[in-house]
Amino acid sequence: MNNKLTYFIIAIVVLILDQASKAWASAKLQYIDTMEIIPDFFRFTYARNRGVAFSLFADSQFETKWILASISAIAAIGVSYYLIRSAANSRRMNLALSFLLAGIVGNLIDRVRLGEVVDFIDFHWYEKYTWPTFNIADASICVGAFLLALEMIREEKVSQAQTTEG
């Protein structure tokens, strides 16, 4: 379990960074709206999202707070379970799961506490092309999903190689 503790610590550190950055954004950006960091490319823009990724369901008539919080809580429990059960020597899998866990819990905390998620990281190319505003928890989920996909591809290749050898 000691080896697994490292991955839970990684999740906690990412979670702390997420919550601290959201607290900063709420304190500093809420009243100025936008802080340009790299002109025409990167800025901090305060936003709140009631929905899920890319603001899906944000304009829903229904109260989605507890539905989305419940889904997130179940996902966090499932990811924690897989992190505990995954092979200790599977570094990429464990790292993927720790990033997923941190991101899920980071947004879950916002959803329960505020009823919505604080977003503030905003990439754009002039005003022609903009990426949806996001936060560290969202980035953590994306990194975790990417690492998980890489691990699944690797496992598939290993499985295919074993099948052709045997």
Closest CA to 135 of 49, 56, 18, 14: 18
DSSP code per residue over 85-104:
HS-TT-HHHHHHHHHHHHHH
CB within 8 A of 38, min separation 6: which ones?
A: none
- Taking the alpha carbons at both ends of the chain, their separation in whole angstroms is 33
What is the count of structural domains for the chain? 1
Query: In this predicted model, what pLDDT tens digit does every residue of 66-99 receive, in sequence order?
Result: 888 999 999 999 999 999 999 988 999 999 999 9
Q: Show the domain range for 122.
A: 2-165
pLDDT band at 59 (very low <50, low <70, confident <90, very high): low
Per-residue pLDDT, averaged over 37-60, amounts to 78
Q: Which of 18, 110, 122, 138 does the annotation list as catalytic?
A: 138
DSSP code per residue over 142-153:
HHHHHHHHHHHH
Q: Which of 18, 110, 119, 122 does the annotation list as catalytic?
A: 119
Q: Hey, how many other C-beta atoms are within 10 angstroms of the C-beta on 103?
A: 29
- Residue 138 among the catalytic residues: yes
Cα separation of 92 and 166, whole Å?
26
